[in-house]
Amino acid sequence: GQQLNQSPQSMFIQEGEDVSMNCTSSSIFNTWLWYKQDPGEGPVLLIALYKAGELTSNGRLTAQFGITRKDSFLNISASIPSDVGIYFCAGHSGGSNYKLTFGKGTLLTVNP
Amino acid sequence: ETGVTQSPTHLIKTRGQQVTLRCSSQSGHNTVSWYQQALGQGPQFIFQYYREEENGRGNFPPRFSGLQFPNYSSELNVNALELDDSALYLCASSLEQGRGGYGYTFGSGTRLTVV
């Protein structure tokens, strides 16, 4: 099945550093979503974006919906150890079945 | 309010067997979607159930089937299990088909291992 192109695959950073990850698609989406998944858990929604060009923040997290509607990025500022996990982007195109199309994920490791 | 509950959390099946996974949706949600997450991959959409009917299906064969009950809970059934069916199966509930994509709440998943 289709998966979005998410990069980087993994990141190893020091506590306090900023992080940036992005996601691209060959298809247009009406909504972009960013999730975090901890081991043994399901994805938890971090940020939802609904309009091209939209920039939205949630605490130390900032995400943007690309102008072309085919890409999005997520920034995490001043990382802390609890930011460790897998981050997924997901696109939602609307239509009749409302499925989410996910990226392969970015594994973030934060060294204290 | 209660979240999405999935059972069992883990199970091991033999190739060729059949399996049923269960999901109780979050209180107030009437739509359930199922996703398959292979190791190291993002979740892949299997299908969605709304008003007890299948409402959209991903690229999965007919041996993947489901049900939704009047209380909005759901089952995922997989027949003739194959080794590649080994994965984490996630259930996501939402209200009114999850319009806009933001209204999905995921359960913790069922880890299925086929040997």
**pLDDT per residue as tens digits for the range B3-44:** 999 999 999 999 999 999 999 998 888 899 999 999 999 999
Closest CA to A19 of A65, A89, A83, A70: A83
Q: Euclidean distance between the first and final Cα of chain A, in Å? A: 37
State the smallest CA–CA distance between residue B67 and chain A in angstroms.
16
Alpha carbon of A34: minimum distance to chain B alpha carbons (Å): 10
Query: Does B90 contact A99 at a Cβ distance shorter than 8 Å?
Result: no
Q: What are phi and psi of B97, to 5 degrees?
A: 65, 10
DSSP structure class, residue A4 = B
Report phi then psi at A81, rounded to 5: -55, -35
Burial (CB count within 10 angstroms: exposed 0-12, middle 13-18, buried 19+), residue B99: middle
Taking the CA atoms of residue A105, residue A3, residue A92 and residue A95 in that order, the dihedral angle to the nearest 10 degrees is: -160
Per-residue model confidence (pLDDT) at position B1 = 58
Calculate the alpha carbon distances from B108 to A30, B23, B40, B89 in Å: 27, 10, 16, 9
The model's confidence at residue B101, banded by pLDDT at 50, 70 and 90, is low
Chain B residues whose CB is inside 8 A of the A98 CB are 31, 33, 48, 55-56, 94, 97-99, 101
Interface check for A90 against chain B (CB to CB < 8 A): the answer is yes
> Could you give the CA distance from residue A35 to residue B64 in angstroms, rounded to a whole number?
26
* A94 contact residues in B (CB cutoff 8 A): 99-100
Tell me the percentage of chain A whose pLDDT exceeds 90. Answer: 85
Secondary structure letter of residue A17 according to DSSP: -
What is the pLDDT, as a whole number, of residue B59?
Answer: 93
Query: Would you say residue B104 has pLDDT above 90?
Result: no
| Cβ pair A9, A107 in contact under 8 A | yes
Nearest C-alpha neighbor of B48 from the set B8, B1, B87, B96: B96
Distance, CA of A97 to CA of A49 (rounded, Å): 19
Q: Stretch A69-96: mean pLDDT, rounded?
A: 93
With a CB cutoff of 8 Å and minimum separation 6, the contacts of B34 are B23, B45, B46, B47, B48, B66, B74, B76, B89, B90, B91, B92
Q: Which of residues 38-57 of A touch B (CB under 8 A)?
A: 40-45, 48, 50
Mutate which: A99, A102, A104, A107, vs B, most B CBs within 10 A? A99
Residue A1 confidence (pLDDT): 63
Mean pLDDT across chain B, nearest whole number?
Answer: 92
- DSSP state, B108? -
Q: Does A4 touch chain B (CB under 8 A)?
A: yes
